[in-house]
Structure 1
Amino acid sequence: MKKSLIIAAALALAPTFAAAESFQEAFEMNRAMYGTDHTFAWNGKQYTTTHEEEVEARVKPTKANAEALIAKAEAKNKEVAELGFEWKLTRGIIKDAKAAVAEGEYQKALDLAAQAKYHARIGIAQYHYAQKNWHLSVPQ
């Protein structure tokens, strides 16, 4: 009886002992479990599960704001393209964002521009990961 209680307690408490090793892991774990705008603690500090691009897209949906975010997305995409890690779909998303501005759909344009900027930012992270871990791609 005691053994089964100890095993049950260990299994019940096991998830609480599984701590994220890095901020990125903690962010991704909380984002997957709770979605955007969730506050979580990591290493004694409070963070939210919101990407910077989501915050940028929450401005008032005006033509000027949409065009400004599209410009940021284009700049970030240019940066990742120079590194050689541009994602194929990002240019199309920027094109769609510009079309949304032309149609007066400013919130849609903001959302698309934020998505394009996010893809470019992740492409840059992918580049840095590849630079650090290139040896893992070499056959042995």
Structure 2
Amino acid sequence: MNKGLIIAAVLALAPTFAAAESFKDAFEMNRAMYGKNHTFTWQGKQYTTMHEEEAEAAVKATKANAEALLAKAKAKNAEVAKLGYEWKLTRGILTNAQTAIDKGEYRKALNLAAQAKYHARMGIQQYHYAQANWYLAVPQ
């Protein structure tokens, strides 16, 4: 009986272990299954499925908070632009965030600034991936 339970437990848990080999895999799997702000366990520690930009935007919608997040987004976008991996639509999002601040729509501005910062961060990740894997683009 105990052997059967152990085998059943191993078979039931094996796909979970195989599917979540890295933190990134575990995060993305839980994010896809449960959406943002879900708590999951990876290697014995608790994490949430919130991107850092979402956490930064989840503050009180004030002019100061919106301007601060917009400044961070602009700085991150300048960083990725220096690398040559700025995404085409990010500047427009930054402009829209500034417009929202000017109109007093601070929640909208926070969300747009968070989106722009996320795009810039993904551009930086794209740059590092391209630097490490450039040879994959070379015809054989």
TM over 0.5: yes
Other structure's SS at 2:19 match: coil
Aligned amino acid, residue 76 of structure 2? K
Partners in 2 of 1:13 and 1:44 — Cα distance?
Answer: 15
Determine if contact 2:19/2:25 at 8 Å carries over to the other structure.
no
- Structure-1 separation of matches of 2:25 and 2:12: 22
| Partner SS, residue 70 of structure 1 | helix
For residues 46 and 82 of structure 1, the distance between their equivalents in structure 2, rounded to whole angstroms, comes to 35
Counterpart residue identity of residue 27, structure 2:
F
Quote the residue 2:86 is aligned against. 86
> 3-state DSSP class of the match of 1:81?
helix
Distance in 1 separating the partners of 2:64 and 2:24? 33
C-alpha RMSD of matched pairs (Å)? 1.9
Query: 2-side partners of 1:16 and 1:92: how far apart?
Result: 40
- For residues 23-62 of structure 1, the aligned pairs below 5 Å read 23-62=23-62
Give the secondary-structure state (helix, strand or coil) at the position aligned to 1:41. Answer: strand
TM (norm. structure 2) is 0.88
Sequence identity, in percent? 77
State the number of aligned residues: 133
Q: Distance in 2 between matches of 1:131 and 1:43?
A: 30
TM-score, length-scaled by structure 1? 0.88
Alpha-carbon deviation of 1:23?
1.1
Corresponding position of 1:4: none
Q: Which runs of 5+ in 1 are unaligned?
A: 1-8
Aligned equivalents of 1:21 and 1:127: distance in 2?
23
Unpaired runs of 5+ residues, structure 2, are 1-8
Write the deviation string for residues 103-124 of structure 1: whole angstroms up to 9, x where unpaired. 1100000000000000000100
Identify the residue that residue 130 of structure 2 maps to in structure 1: 130
